[in-house]
Amino acid sequence: MYDVSIIGAGVVGSAIARELSKYNLSVALIEKESDVSTGASKANTGIVHGGYVAKAGTLKGELCIQGNAVYKKLNEELNFGYKNTGGLVLAFDDEDEKTLDKIYQNALEVGQAEEEIEIIYGDQIKEIEPHVSDQAQAAFYCKTIGVTSPYEFTTALAENAVNNGVDLKLESEVINIENNNDYFEIETVKEKFKSRFVVNAAGIYADKIAEMLDVFELKKKLDS
């Protein structure tokens, strides 16, 4: 029996597996495809967003700031390729500038440090990006934005988790999950096994896994 089984070996599932591999736990990372990072994780932009992108006062906003801050250390540990490029949000008219002011204020409220962000104009914009349109009249400049290779990042996380003892089960689509109160019995196209806990990190298939776990029925009961 596993202590934890994580369904989905994208960036989220692989990151969870790596973190849990630091502890004295038996962990399974289950993926229906033949490799990790073959779904949404492979296809995203690879932009490491600054904290300003999420609304202040939300969990997403809090985690976006924290997540951005760990990339440099993660890359030092796993060498997946990360570059802190900074990023610009451009304004082309007065209405756009008002939007930049809102973005700036939200960035401060969500926890972005003042020295990490600023509103810049004219030649300042050209110094950072010489090929930007001459029609750009202002820009919100966030110095903490970066870029990475999403599939290399995910692969590095998964490889490190496996090196630490996590069982990676590829080509193992989950077809059924039974809740036996004390444990879950997970059935894949290859095998059946037991797990004390299940983590649903199945990306665009998360709803299917949730249905197997009767999450929606449980929510109805809790809401009634």
* DSSP-derived secondary structure letter, 153: H
Residue 218 to residue 32: CA distance in whole angstroms:
26
Q: In angstroms, rounded to a whole number, what is the distance separating the alpha carbons of residues 103 and 91?
A: 12
Can you state the percent helix, strand and coil of the chain, rounding each to 5?
45, 25, 35
Mark whether 131 is an active-site residue.
Answer: no
Q: From CA 140, how far away is CA 117, in angstroms rounded?
A: 7
Q: Which of 26, 33, 47, 49 is catalytic?
A: 49
What phi-psi label fits residue 181: left (phi over 0), alpha (psi between -120 and 50 degrees) or beta?
left
* Angle (CA) 130 134 136, round 5°: 100
Question: Active-site residues: which are they?
Answer: 49
